[in-house]
Structure 1
Amino acid sequence: MSIHAVKRSQCHLAWDKSIPPVLYVASGETVTFDCLDASNGQIIVSSTSASLHNLVLSQLDQVCGPIAVAGALPGDTLRVDVVALETANWGWTALVPGFGLLADEFPEPALKIWSIDKENGSAWFNEEKGIKIPIHPFAGEMGVARGVDGAFSTIPPYNTGVIIDTKHVTVGSTLYLPIEAPGALFSIGDGHAAQGDGGEYLHNKYHACGLMTSKDSPLCRGTAIETPIKVTVRLTVVKDKSYVKTPHYQTHVVPRSNGSDAGDEYYCTTGVGSEIREAARDAVRHMIVFLIAEHGLDRIAAYMLCSVAGDLRMHEVVDMPNYVASLFMSVSC
């Protein structure tokens, strides 16, 4: 059991290496965070769509921390093992004016309050129509402080992590983050009970529910079921993975093309940038470097392996100015 804990009130709204740590831990220790939802407590169970008119956008997407890890130096890598995660028994999904890939087509606010059945791992979207959403809890924001001076919004993703918004980094998964500031200064938040990837998984999930035909090809953000979470992570400084320049992670939760989850272990590299194609190219480049460093392949062989065994996906397509693309590779391939 973790002996370190961070309260909901110990949070911040910008990534800034000058923010004093709320906690100092040794490498390899675990920390439990009690995190409010992404609205910072502005949305509650009794909220309605009308409540969104009073939503203070500057208070969204707070993160708990930061945590200073002993021995963490710029150039090192922070290993984040997700040990445990529990959602609340409720959550919300909203259309917030000005947010989202189709914001111009959905200008009116809308709010759905969900009842989360944690015992059965699901939440009803529409019980009458038989539409049930499986729960895959994760924290949308996990990151470390940037090495440059200044305060940076918690909303867009950066190479140091932050809002990577991927359902694959859940309990049992390991995230690797490049350290740019002494102590790493790790923070976490933005609890999700469920969310699709930037396009492909949303298609697969709704196709499996019978809501979409094979000719449909949506490109939209899988809006999350936002929820408060309690999450425990183990923070370890790694000295021999200096090739990690963007978030990398290892996971067993990777959806197949038919919408089911595979049980194999996968390693994932990401690309983060202001242009989606370049972010995708970077994700492949980072996988090539990983295969060279960890498996002894030459550059040409690594690129060939990426082309025949890698799965390229989009994770983040709405939190401007940056996108997040990823390349999955089966560890057993």
Structure 2
Amino acid sequence: MSIHSIKRSQCHLAWDNSIPPVAHIKSGDVVSFDCLDASNGQITPTTVASSLRTLEISTLDQVNGPIYVESAKPGDTLQIDVLEVSTADWGWTGILPGFGLLADEFTTPCLKIWDLPVGQDFAWFDKLKGIKIPLRPFAGEMGVALAAKGPHSTIPPYNTGGNVDTKHLTKGTTLYLPIQVEGALFSTGDGHAAQGDGEVCGTAIETPMKTTVRLTVLKDKPHVKTPHFSTPKGSDDPKGYYCTTGVGPDIREATRDAVRHMITVLEVEHGLSREDAYMLCSIAGDLRMHEVVDMPNYVIGMMMPKSIFGHQSA
């Protein structure tokens, strides 16, 4: 196993399978990334709200990479084990004109700069009111290149990942992405110190981020057609969750796809009939709105507690 390091300067602004990789690695190698925040360094601890009107929007949500993984072929699955995630000692949350679920109602720029002390597992939203936020850092962007010729914006999520903004992809989680091009061409970025499901105003606690992942090519998981992930023990459920997603511009169809993909997992990996799998989704699965603001696509998850499978694990 080799360990590779990717610098902040080794980044790009679109999913495009013609972008030359910044590193070639073997399946199972570990890669560490040093990433700027989603503003691409335009926002600093001294930035004021009025400056948000002059942000260079075209440079937002850059990602670091791409990484070429040897033996990765279209139809394979890339397993991304999140080994470490750390943030800077500061972050920001903003209301950006034109962004967010209620963009038509919140048109005035607003900016909050956060203190994120090293070693502290929470940040104060309002100390006088006693409102503090548990910190669960993760990368908002993790994806592989699309087969369709680019460039494709890094703002929306895709079936191949990208800006999935899913708060469960923290240290200890394993993400699975469908590979569409040779080498997979994996990239990551958009550090978040904390976020709620949906990221409704369009920003989380945005922060520069260092993350380390292991990238492994799987030949035996071809049923992964959208991002899937498996959370570790103790993450809300004693054994964690296995989640399938639906990604698309129609929220109902994205939800239906999330359920369909879970049915397939239950058939293939647990030997259930299609009918039993559908019923199990209804009585044990939880639907979550993971990402609802990065148009044109939504990310809807179907989360299945792994504890219901006894000695088996998803």
Please tell me the TM-score bracket, short chain as reference: over 0.9
Is 1:107 the counterpart of 2:87? The answer is no
Q: Distance in 2 between matches of 1:254 and 1:161?
A: 25
Task: Pick closer, same or farther for the CA change 1:23–1:313 going to 2, 3 Å.
Answer: same
Q: Distance in 2 between matches of 1:262 and 1:300?
A: 25
Q: Is the 8 A contact 1:195 1:222 kept in 2?
A: no
Q: Distance in 2 between matches of 1:296 and 1:289?
A: 10
Unmatched runs of 5 consecutive residues or more in structure 1:
200-219, 256-260
Deviation of 1:253 after TM superposition, in Å, equals 7.7
Q: Distance in 1 between matches of 2:233 and 2:93?
A: 23
Deviation of 1:237 after TM superposition, in Å, equals 0.2
Is 1:322 the counterpart of 2:302? The answer is no
Is 1:236 the counterpart of 2:216? The answer is yes
Task: Pick closer, same or farther for the CA change 1:133–1:222 going to 2, 3 Å.
Answer: farther
Q: Which amino acid letter does the alignment assign opposite residue 228 of structure 1?
A: P
5 Å-filtered alignment, 1:2-41, equals 3-41=3-41
Deviations 1:40-98 (A, max 9, x none): 00000111102212210001000000000000000000000000011000000000000
Deviation of 1:195 after TM superposition, in Å, equals 0.3
Unmatched runs of 5 consecutive residues or more in structure 2:
309-314
Q: SS where residue 246 of structure 2 aligns? A: strand
Deviations 1:90-117 (A, max 9, x none): 0000000000000010001011100013
Aligned to 2:281: 306
Is 1:130 the counterpart of 2:125? The answer is no
Q: SS where residue 117 of structure 1 aligns? A: coil
Aligned to 2:164: 164
Residue from 231, 247, 252 that aligns with 1:272: 247
Deviation of 1:118 after TM superposition, in Å, equals 3.4
Q: Is the 8 A contact 1:78 1:178 kept in 2?
A: yes
Is 1:284 the counterpart of 2:268? The answer is no
Q: Is the 8 A contact 1:141 1:190 kept in 2?
A: yes
Q: Which amino acid letter does the alignment assign opposite residue 246 of structure 1?
A: T
Q: Is the 8 A contact 2:156 2:294 kept in 1?
A: yes
Q: SS where residue 157 of structure 2 aligns? A: coil
Is 1:224 the counterpart of 2:204? The answer is yes
Q: Is the 8 A contact 1:196 1:221 kept in 2?
A: no
Q: Is the 8 A contact 1:197 1:222 kept in 2?
A: no
Q: Distance in 2 between matches of 1:60 and 1:226?
A: 12
Task: Pick closer, same or farther for the CA change 1:152–1:267 going to 2, 3 Å.
Answer: same
Aligned to 1:245: 225
Q: SS where residue 147 of structure 2 aligns? A: coil
Identical positions, percent: 66
5 Å-filtered alignment, 1:42-61, equals 42-61=42-61
Q: SS where residue 52 of structure 1 aligns? A: helix
Q: Distance in 2 between matches of 1:254 and 1:198?
A: 22
Q: Is the 8 A contact 1:161 1:177 kept in 2?
A: yes
Deviation of 1:222 after TM superposition, in Å, equals 7.3
Deviation of 1:180 after TM superposition, in Å, equals 0.1
Q: Distance in 1 between matches of 2:66 and 2:216?
A: 15
Q: Distance in 2 between matches of 1:90 and 1:309?
A: 39
Q: Which amino acid letter does the alignment assign opposite residue 317 of structure 1?
A: V
Q: Is the 8 A contact 1:197 1:221 kept in 2?
A: no
Which aligned segments of 4 or more residues in structure 1 are displaced greater than 3 angstroms? 220-223, 252-255
Q: Is the 8 A contact 2:237 2:305 kept in 1?
A: no
TM-score for both structures, normalised by structure 1: 0.90
Deviations 1:190-235 (A, max 9, x none): 0000000028xxxxxxxxxxxxxxxxxxxx4574000000000000
Task: Pick closer, same or farther for the CA change 1:237–1:225 going to 2, 3 Å.
Answer: same
Q: Distance in 2 between matches of 1:18 and 1:180?
A: 13
Aligned to 2:311: none
Deviation of 1:309 after TM superposition, in Å, equals 0.4
Q: Is the 8 A contact 1:254 1:262 kept in 2?
A: yes
